[in-house]
Structure 1
């Protein structure tokens, strides 16, 4: 070997108060107890930096990092302080910044202002010995394509300012704001590098050579090449993996230089894009592949490809077996960012994340040995709600999955048969090939924690209030149009607009029951995918899923605080009664021919509503609505029709719908989910809901929507036609997954046909960005496999004031078919019982 190829590292460590979980500005006190040759101050007083001795092997580097950490831990203990080797401390806030008292740092703060104050970040720097600076400058450019993988492996900063940033490494995004950060561009020699640095200093933009914050740089004080892109790594073994790969990459570049192999410089904007992509998704996302014309690839594939590519150099250095094992381990357990988000998802507490990063930083190099049972054959994926990295069940699911682990196939078959008998016996079937098939209810439930449900409740109640105010306004004063929030053509041209909605009396609640479809992405964030105000279905199926699981698997451990879904039935009765005129409460159904007949029967029976067909109603001369069979007056009709109300006729062909609308207009009957409520369902108006929340409530939307394009807009249509193979396209009036095309999973012919359809009738379509849906273990035969899921929930509306909207205590989880990304409610789909744990309940417990 020509190069030295020695190893060294600098670790920046956050100091965290063990009681509050906040950053602790006690670096001076702690450093006073530590030797200056190995420990030093940083820009902020909440950080200590360690500097290892020069070593030659990965094992020696591991020992050095552990030794230096132990020193800080011991010195900090007297201060009640722990350390965390992460890019950002989970509870960090800008107010925590305290400058280290030196003239150099004070000058930096004076010059860079907020840029300095936001530097509550910590990184890992790795040094590899290189024989001369000319060689170092050549090598640092040749290895730039490999840096995004190293950043992805280190990602440990999803939280900043006490919130999830959406990035796996917000530290690197903050770091890139320095004027001297990033790539240098092509340089032919060390002299050119020094000249570049001199120009930056003479410009007055940076003060000295120490502020050369490039991704990789020749060290200012040692014969080494320094890697600077990585977050701090709480597990020492992750740092060792990065050091091993970096050294091998340096060696590979050196061999290329010696062999005279040419190198094509990577364009700086492409490099910046690749680094941003790594910061955004880490190991759970996609990385740019680093080819001549870069393309996104799964991060795990990029890691494996790098290890394979560097295998000759890793073997030469004696590191291959260790690096391969460490890479396999980190891909199985996920990055620190993944683990932090998993810790937060359990209870919604940043304190749990703080405890995790301190525990890992203080602990053994490879982390704690997992004690939970492992599902070795389960295909783990980013975003799985029940099974985490390493095929380890998440805490809320451990007891439930333990009941199924190792269960004989014959027992699973017996349970599935019992479930099907239950569904058939209770009429929960759908037509298929001339016969009736039972609805498939998966044996493994979904579990929603109390903190998640509380967060969803706040966002959905807010959304329901805004939608009801919109319906009241748009069929009344139409201020939203007069004020320019929505154009008239956008409202009156929408598929859900109904002129007859103008006849409903002012002050009537138009959508007492609103359904919302939600999805969770691979980072655990919830998105509202759609709103259904005309005839939201699924509540009775959610009730049936609970009944079926209780009947078939009563021994499955239920968590403490589990909400009873049948609370929706009295809530439905109360909601209808709040708007009813004198008389009975009734549900109007087309009858047994309806695909939702089971639901109509179940809701009517449980909520004590009359279940009536069109032929069973009459409207007398005084516009009183009565039951034909009993003569009883009806004060509220919950409309669950398959057609528009005005299309409804009785058995003699008389316009029953018109008469019912006249009765409602005269104030004789309350029509729940009245004509025109479906305006809120229109997918072209869906993207305006955040605007409506701000307009009507003067609030910031608490739940995000999925980015949506209106193809009726010329510019957006052109963009959609160009990207149809990357987007989800769907009809504005579609339901149940009908007409949905997921571009990345569709054939070229299907995408071409959709482009033609959009071009011919742009007003009929919308497009949305693809959301990488979360998944849950679902039985495929006797085997569990990850399937994509969504969630339907219901808000009951009695008005638009605070307290008038209530989230029903049940939810329906719908499961995508085997091998599909499309989740829909079409007959034949699979559903899951959804266990909602009240806030404060013990998910994973054994409550009844």
Structure 2
């Protein structure tokens, strides 16, 4: 393209009464105060339309959109009216109020209630094309991308005084027109005109202007017209959509010039993708037509912007569109923002006030409620006996949970039961499963509907403590496989290291400058509001990141209305950060430095679902030992076609299983991989031998490690722990068995744990004998009353004990490591009446929201 294609926009607005905040059929009085052809009536007398001049740049378009909105407000305010840019307004006037004119009157007669209920507003964008044949081709080529633009614009959650459950209910109302939806299957202007003539002849429509496709050739201008979008409260969203649409038109014209075939997307799938975008906006997954599959909005939007980069750069729009797209994703859809406004007091007037402000580029000011009433429907029988993270002792919902419980209360028990059923259906469709033990069938991963909230202030404190702990543990692992200074200085007894179940000679094979703990999973509990404790360190093959990502997507897909006022830190960047941590272990200047893979035991592993998900999200192959061959030159992937050398392996296979696994040549591969690691031929993350630092006895000495290696005050305390290998501590433990929690040092998944206060005499006698027989094999801990969290079960909310698994990444950075705490934390939930949260013992999980 040589000439810069021009563009323009039409915006529709609701006219509202400033006192009642209802739509007002007063467009005639408003238009009487406005001059020129830039303003026009719409089908309903409570709607008004603006038409921007033709613009060459996005900055020009933004200027005119703001100018026209300001003119509308200036004319409306003296009349006691306001104007709202949104797909719908929650409060509408009663009765029919159709604008005057023969065309509108004919439409009301023909389409009846459909016209009477047309209280909806859209935004249309026009882009120049050379002729109508090109326009028809462009329409077909751009159509697959329109659901993404609809999701960006979604601003109509409320319909006639109730929550529709959609982000864009306007598109649902609009879809009732006989010619609405994806464009027709035509390829030339002649085909298009013939199709329109047939529709008119059928009596379905009366003129070409009633072809209401999501995108169409203009009936009177040499342009392509985008019609799928809701009216947008914020001008920048219109500008973003216009910039993307103009670039899409440019891309379509380039594909046409190159002779590329038309896209083969099914008409039915296009409709389905638009429905999905209307259902959840930017708060739930969107349909990727290639596959097809569900993909997170940040990924869909990000890929679209990257796909259009050549056209955007040619137009001079690249930096602006990139910035606008990131801002739109950061603040979420206008529908979610309206729900947040409603959630403050449960008043639709707050929604309208927010829309009035956003339409003119102002920030709405709201007073948060002084108290948050408890939900009578869901919390009537809710009686926590320990510290509860959402409900106070007096039964009042805590302020940062107020919006959530208002949303849940609107759903009610029946709505939540329906959402729970939809959740299980989604889990089955996506294969979100786990296995309790070998030989047992896969089960659905137990996931609760009610998200857990961690405030920004809490997360800041936790992150500092978690990063400190992992730095100390990394120093310990390096030390015990090297000089053992901490043992020589008497800080950790030699027997603690030498008898550690996870100590391995293979730990000595790791190069001195390697990061050994690339991914740590640290389990935390709390016993009151400001008191978090570390329960356990997992440094071998910690699982849960993938389940955390999936939990977020599943919950948002079945309950898109849940959206906190401050917003939630997104999880979309997490797989990329994990991949970057793995790549940091390689030599960037070496050939094939980016050839990394996730090493799994395969379908036999209980977390195989997560392995597949993370490999897919990171864009790396998922391999088993049978697909690997080790030579003097390195580790090669040979089981998937072309033979290629791998620079790093993300280890998600147990060390013992790896040692016993045959490779592609049928020889045991574990030791060979360890030797390749020692020679610097491959990086293995997490390193072999890490288990020396994460058993329950070594755990007791982590505070001392922090002081010894870092010379810092301990930020996150341990649960008070008593190593039974120490004679004095053992005597105390045996004297207090009925007060303590007894744990085998080499236990995992909650196996072997005895909770003294809940055990009978026979169990206590049995564990006492085991401690006397093998003191080094046991530790005891004070019983911590785990915090509880509302959990939906059998049609009601009940308090369940929870812990939190947080994930810490370490990347090689010069001679040291750079530490990052991921927001993808996994809250684990104990069964009713239990404090053991492990899935192997009947536990489940929750989506964890870290607030911005």
For normalisation by structure 2, the TM-score amounts to: 0.53
Tell me which residue corresponds to 1:695: 708
Question: Do 1:625 and 1:635's aligned partners in 2 also have CA atoms closer than 8 Å?
Answer: no
1:590 corresponds in structure 2 to: 601
Q: Does 1:638 align with 2:644?
A: no
Change (3 A) 1:757 1:482: same
Aligned ranges for residues 273-312 of structure 1 at < 5 Å? none
Match of 1:399 in 2: 403
Q: 2:434·2:609 contact (CA, 8 Å) conserved in 1? A: no
CA 1:371–1:807 in structure 2 vs 1: closer, same or farther (change >3 Å)? Answer: closer
Pair 1:404–1:624, CA change in 2 (3 A): closer
Matches within 5 A, 1:143-222: none
The one of 832, 837, 845 aligned to 2:846? 832
Matches within 5 A, 1:797-836: 797-799=810-812, 804-826=818-840, 828-836=842-850
Deviation for aligned residue 1:485: 1.6
The 3 A distance-change label for structure 1 pair 617 and 540 is same
User: Counterpart in 1 of 2:805?
Assistant: 792
Q: Which position in structure 2 is the counterpart of 1:448? A: 454
Q: Paired residue for 2:722?
A: 709
Query: In 1, are the aligned partners of 2:372 and 2:399 still within 8 Å (CA)?
Result: no
Q: What is the match of residue 25 of structure 1?
A: none
User: Residue 417 of structure 2 is aligned with which of 408, 413, 420?
Assistant: 413
- Asked if 2 retains the 8 angstrom alpha-carbon contact of 1:513 and 1:796, the reply is yes
Shift of 1:370: 4.8
Residue 717 of structure 1 and its aligned partner are, at CA, apart by 1.2
For residues 428 and 802 of structure 2, what CA distance do their matches in structure 1 show? 24
1:83-122 counterparts in 2 under 5 A? none
C-alpha distance in structure 2 between counterparts of 1:624 and 1:693, whole Å: 36
Corresponding residue of 2:515: 509
Aligned to 2:660: 647
In structure 2, how many angstroms separate the alpha carbons of the residues matched to 1:531 and 1:825? 17
Residues 625 and 633, structure 1, Cα contact 8 Å, conserved in 2: yes
- Indicate conservation of the 8 Å contact 2:434/2:608, yes or no: no
Distance 1:430 1:746 in 2: 29
Counterpart of 2:300? Answer: none
Matched residues in 2 for 1:506 and 1:481: separation? 19
CA-to-partner distance for each residue in 1:184-238, whole Å, 9 max, x for gaps?
xxxxxxxxxxxxxxxxxxxxxxxxxxxxxxxxxxxxxxxxxxxxxxxxxxxxxxx
1:531 paired to 2:537? yes
Count of matched residue positions in the alignment of Structure 1 and Structure 2:
471
Q: Deviations over 1:595-621 (max 9, x none)?
A: 010111111111122210111000123
Where 1:443 maps in the other structure, the secondary structure is coil
Specify which of 601, 605, 608 is matched with residue 619 of structure 2: 608
* CA deviations over 1:469-500 (Å, ceiling 9, x no partner): 11111112221122222222221111111111
Give the SS at the match of 1:618. strand
CA distance in 2, matches of 1:696, 1:435: 45
Post-superposition Cα deviations, 1:348-396, rounded to whole Å, max 9, x if no partner, equal xxxxxxxxxxxxxxxxxxxx99552353321133410001132110011
Structure 1 residue runs of 5 or longer lacking an equivalent are 1-367, 839-848
Q: Which segments of 5 or more consecutive residues in structure 2 lack a partner in the other structure? A: 1-368
Cα deviation 1:722-760 (Å, max 9, x = unaligned) = 111110011112111111111111222211111111111
Alignment partner of 2:785: what SS?
Answer: coil
- 2:628 maps to what in 1? 617
* Deviation for aligned residue 1:773: 0.8
- Equivalent residue, structure 2, for 1:754: 767
Q: Is the 8 A contact 1:625 1:660 kept in 2?
A: no
Contact 2:724 2:776 in 1 (8 A): yes
- Corresponding residue SS for 2:805: strand
Deviates more, 1:451-460 or 1:621-630: 621-630
Q: Does 1:547 align with 2:547?
A: no
- 1:594 touches 1:642 (CA, 8 Å); kept in 2? no
2-structure distance, mates of 1:799, 1:480: 23
Partner Cα separation in structure 2 for residue 481 and residue 807 of structure 1: 29
**d(CA) in 2 for partners of 1:827, 1:541:** 17
Which residue of structure 1 lines up, in the alignment, with residue 340 of structure 2? Answer: none
Structure 1 454/408 Cα, relative in aligned 2: closer, same or farther at 3 Å?
Answer: closer
Match of residue 689, structure 2, among 670, 676, 683: 676
Is the alpha carbon distance of 1:676 and 1:554 closer, same or farther for their aligned partners in structure 2, counting shifts above 3 Å?
same
1:691, distance to aligned residue in structure 2 (A) = 0.6
Relative to the length of structure 1, the TM-score reads 0.54
The CA deviation string for residues 622-641 of structure 1, in whole angstroms up to 9 with x for no partner, is 33444443211100011111
Conserved in 2, the CA contact under 8 Å of 1:512 and 1:798? Answer: yes
Deviation string 1:2-57 (CA, Å, 9 cap, x unpaired) is xxxxxxxxxxxxxxxxxxxxxxxxxxxxxxxxxxxxxxxxxxxxxxxxxxxxxxxx
RMSD: 2.0
